[in-house]
Amino acid sequence: MIGKTRRPAPTTTDAPRGVLHTQLGDGAFEHARQTPAPALAACVEHYWCVRWDLRGHPPQLQETLPHPNVHLVAEHGEARVWGVHDGRYRRMLEGRETVFGVKFAAGGFHGFLRGPVGALANRSLPARDVFGNGIDAIVPGLPACADIAAMAALVEPLLLAQLPPPDPLAAQARLLVARAASDRELLRAEQLAEHAGIGLRALQRLFRDYVGASPKWVIQRYRLHEAVAQLQAGHTLDWAGLALALGYYDQAHFIRDFRRLVGRAPADYARCQRTG
């Protein structure tokens, strides 16, 4: 059931990142996440569910920033696999809806796809093309589930039945993406290649085949995610200093990339966070 508390604590330990509008208006909202079975941990980061009931309330825009992850998304009675997109995702929330998703670990979808994940960049395909017709039988029952645990219980057996064998390259890609996300001093793809002990071209091939985005793109997106998180936390920032800290040569390039990704300049976004 959808409660009146707008963002209940997720069942995973970390809070969602990349959600641009953290304060929504009137209505009922739910955003829940759950970790997968241990056997799927190398391939699946978490399950997620978003529910809202805006009947009798105006539609509301939600936007999220891209991550270097493939998603299986079930909504409107259909399941699709979405590759890594380079722009923010925009969705107008209206009426009553339930959306369930599987966020695959970086590098973790390669074994299910059995091909380069880069082929899915900025596109989607029916989930049955990857997981077979069994997924179509599961999707209609998801909105009636009481909670995300019940939804995951429907989908997880299908993933387990098609679990690919361990792949050391997938594991390497996952660890390198995690390093790019957590190491704020990591600003260039060359640094990540040096950390991995491989050449830059080999790193680029690994990311193209297993992640679906270039290492430069991944690093830059995570640094911009960090900038958004700081603004959401209400920090007063020195834009020129932040641009340098995030690896930009000057403030103008940072503002350009921020505006392209978020849809507005940093100062405008910070002002919106303060005013709601």
> If the chain, 276 residues long, is cut into consecutive pieces of 10 residues, what is the mean pLDDT of each piece?
35 60 70 95 96 89 90 96 91 90 98 96 96 95 95 97 97 97 90 96 98 95 86 77 77 88 85 69
Q: Are residues 101 and 186 in the same domain?
A: no
Write phi, then psi, for 150 (nearest 5 degrees). Answer: -70, -35
* DSSP label of 207: I
Do 64 and 105 sit in the same domain of this protein?
yes
Domain-terminating residue out of 102, 132, 161: 161
Instruction: Examine the domain organization and report whether 144 and 172 are in the same domain.
Output: no
Structure tokens at 231: 């603004």
For residues 177 and 237, state if they share a domain.
Answer: yes
50 and 127 together in one domain: yes
Closest CA to 88 of 231, 273, 261, 221: 261
Q: In the 8-state DSSP scheme, what is residue 19?
A: B
Within a domain: 127: yes
- Which of 144, 161, 178 terminates a domain? The answer is 161
pLDDT of residue 24: 60
Q: And the tokens for 150?
A: 């019940």
Here the CATH number for the domain that contains residue 233 is 1.10.10.60
- pLDDT the model gives residue 6: 32
Residue 83, exposed/middle/buried by CB under 10 A (0-12, 13-18, 19+)? buried
Within-domain flag for 22: no
3-state secondary structure of 262: helix
Domain that holds residue 261: 168-275
Q: Are residues 100 and 154 in the same domain?
A: yes
- Return the pLDDT at 89: 86
In the chain, the number of structural domains is 2
In 3D space, the residue among 49, 43, 44 whose CA is nearest the CA of residue 16 turns out to be: 49
Q: Are residues 42 and 141 in the same domain?
A: yes
Shortest CA distance to 8 belongs to which of 148, 139, 141, 151? 148
User: Which of 214-239 are b and which e, b meaning 16 or more Cβ less than 10 Å from the residue's Cβ?
Assistant: bbbbbbbbbbbbbbbeebbeeeeeeb
Is residue 74 within 8 Å of residue 131, measured between CB atoms? Answer: no
Instruction: Residue count of the chain, please give it.
Output: 276
